[in-house]
A = this chain, B = another copy of it.
Amino acid sequence: MAAWKQPLLAVDVVLVRFHPERGLEFGTSERAAEPARGEQALPGVLVRSDESLTDAASRAVGTKAGIADEAVRHLDQLHVFDTPGREDSTVESGRERSWSLAFLGVVDPAAATGEHVRWHSASGPALGLPFDHDDIVDFARQHIRARLWSDVAMTRALTGDSFSTRLGADLEAAATGVQPHASNFHRRLTGLADLERLDEKSPSGGRPAHVWKWRRP
């Protein structure tokens, strides 16, 4: 067995946040290096041998998007995308293979994300990102929809530790495309074991909505 020369493994992070006013958004940052230099793309780095994959994802968010570690509430491995002839096909041979392990990175919408990050509404059209990044975003979109409310860690990262019924319903609407009936949605939250209804209320133009708090950590 000869010496192995493999493509390098990169991690690319699909940044997501759920902003109370702006809704569900995907984040991109500007590429500093060729190829596609200057274009908006998913922040990514090559994985170093001394770090875990999740650490690499975290580093991508930090160094490429300039987002503080504390602002990243959740990191979730998605899928390895295997593309002939994508980035870093430096000089030669035209088409080099490349691997990208995609992560979902949920960001605190209250955190400042600086000028490096551009946020795009998830309800808009495809983002037109280079490489196969549009596919990756799409994969993430379906991942979110399939796991909302059932994957507590992910959902909690999107909503924050506590949230109003209103915000929850809007998140549901953003993820699935249909606004739930307010009444039924309230009952749905009631049924979730990890949620607790507080006595607080959250103003919203009419009758204030209840506030829900995730139990435990």
Contacts and interface: CB of A to CB of B under 8 A. Distances in A.
Interface of A: 4-9, 46-50, 52-54, 77, 79-80, 82, 84, 96-97, 99, 101
Contacts of A7: 49
Given A4-B8, A6-B48, A80 B97 contact: no
Nearest to A6: B49
Contact of A49 (B5, B47, B54, B77): B5
A53 B77 contact: no
Nearest to A53: B82
Contact of A52 (B6, B82, B101): B82
A46 B7 CA distance: 12
Contacts of A97: 49-50, 52
Contact of A79 (B77, B82, B84, B96): B77
A46 B82 contact: no
Given A6-B46, A6-B48, A77-B79, 19 more contacts: A4-B8, A4-B48, A5-B49, A6-B6, A6-B49, A9-B99, A49-B96, A49-B97, A50-B97, A52-B82, A52-B84, A52-B97, A53-B80, A53-B82, A53-B99, A54-B82, A77-B80, A80-B80, A80-B101
